[in-house]
Amino acid sequence: MHTFMSGSATAHRSQPVRTGRAPGAHKRRAGAGRPPHVVIVGGGFAGLAAAQALASAPVDVTLIDRCNHHLFQPLLYQVATAALSPSDIASPIRSVLRDQANATVLLDEVIDVDTEWRRVITRDGAEATYDYLILATGAEYSYFGHDDDWARYAVGLKSLEDATEIRARLLMAFEKAEAECDAASQNKMLTFVLIGAGPTGVEMAGAVAELAKATLARDFRRIDPRNARIILIEAGPRVLPGFRPELSAYAHSTLDRMGVDIRLHTTIDDITSDGVIARGRVIEAATIVWCAGVKATPAGRWLNRATSRNGAIEVKADLSIPGLPEVFAIGDLAHRLGADGKPLPGLAAVAKQEGNYVGTVIAANVRNSPLPAAFSYRDRGTLATIGRSAAVADFGWLRLKGRTAWLLWGFVHILFLIGFRNRALVFINWVWAWLTSTRGARLIIAGRAHKQR
């Protein structure tokens, strides 16, 4: 069993050591010559920002993630639709924090937290004792109570594994249709259903339409990929419900022009191996992608604390957890109301700002300097892309749509990618795709779809 001791930031193979302390003990430990130990669970936007905000603080940081990479989720749909490769949008967490001397990275999955003894417990049996704990484990897909039966037919888009699985299913559908003689089966293979018309559903629908109607158009002999049906299902009254109605209307008409069949006010009754049953009607489809609800990862259960309806942990104004001043929840895992009285949205910008804020709170705490004011989110606007030269942007005071919004969307996403290599690769891929309408990552390599042949 590994034990990560406070302040040592090195793994030891030993029996678990109990180091329970009363609140405030971190100050005594610091006085005893050992820097306080900050354990961060999750190296996504929130956890990484927190670690980086602690770079010059007199603390030891241990960041634990079950993946070895930080993932830029906003571009996952481009991996799922063969425009980018997995490595273009992910960076090893270890290399991101290479130059931060006070940070150690541990590849492991946290399965529980013992708040009495201030330690986190991991799947590999390691224990990390902490003086401060930052939980930043994000969200996962929720199938509205059908996780067991729907998830295997309708893949959600959250990880690189999901993206390569969806890519394999999409590309395999065209391959199977080409080999199929029966027209009904061919139609089923060439029907793609996307459930949920938020930003991910809209981006996926536009990208699948471009894949079928442009990229693959001339590559097959027995089928015409341009006949593919792309169906976008939404329970609500409009696509992009988080955006203003005029931007939703623009997205709707653009998708319409691209040949996407949009079905609003449509709820899902069931998902099976044959397709989707929506409002009592069967839609036969071989490829179904889930872009609908999300829920927080189960960290709330570890702490036995109040959570919102989607499992996010309720936090105080300083993003600490009520009754646990040394434990913070940030990013998609945290439930906090914004200035408008609504919960803060699940956005990378919220996660980054919260991570940065908690880092400064902890740094101020260990230095005994004044604490920053309560966290408040600075909304710098939201963007969503629809397809080639079409996007929407809402900055509150300014709303853009079309090519200007699309160029801005591209610029912002390249800017926020981590590392020069990824920025350069994504930029080159985009320019090449724009000039040639090709997609460079048309590989069927994920496990399940390949084995189903």
Ligand X SMILES: Cc1cc2nc3c(=O)[nH]c(=O)nc-3n(C[C@H](O)[C@H](O)[C@H](O)COP(=O)(O)OP(=O)(O)OC[C@H]3O[C@@H](n4cnc5c(N)ncnc54)[C@H](O)[C@@H]3O)c2cc1C
Which positions touch ligand X (CB under 6 A)?
41-47, 64-67, 73-74, 76-77, 109-110, 136-138, 157-158, 199-200, 297, 331-333, 346-349, 351
For residue 335, CA distances in Å to 200, 290, 295, 308 come to: 21, 23, 11, 7
Catalytic residue among 203, 210, 234, 326: 203
Alpha helices in 19-87 (DSSP H): 25-31, 45-53, 76-80
CA-closest candidate to residue 81, choices 167, 194, 209? 167
* Residue 228 structure tokens: 């593919």
Q: Is 326 a catalytic residue?
A: no
Cβ closer to ligand X: 143 or 189?
A: 143
Residue 243 and residue 274 in contact, taking contact as beta carbons nearer than 8 Å: no
Cβ closer to ligand X: 185 or 356?
A: 356
Shortest Cβ 138–ligand X spacing (Å): 3
Cβ closer to ligand X: 60 or 203?
A: 203
Shortest Cβ 361–ligand X spacing (Å): 17
Cβ closer to ligand X: 70 or 252?
A: 70
Using the structure block, give the residue that is written with the tokens 């999300």. 294
In angstroms, the CA 74 to CA 78 distance is 9
Burial of 215 (0-12, 13-18, 19+ CB in 10 A): buried
Reduced DSSP (H G I as helix, E B as strand, rest coil) percent helix, strand, coil of the chain, to 5: 35, 25, 40
Shortest Cβ 11–ligand X spacing (Å): 16
Cβ closer to ligand X: 41 or 278?
A: 41
DSSP code, position 91: E
* Helix (H), strand (E) counts: the chain: 14, 28
Shortest Cβ 122–ligand X spacing (Å): 7
Positions marked active-site: 203
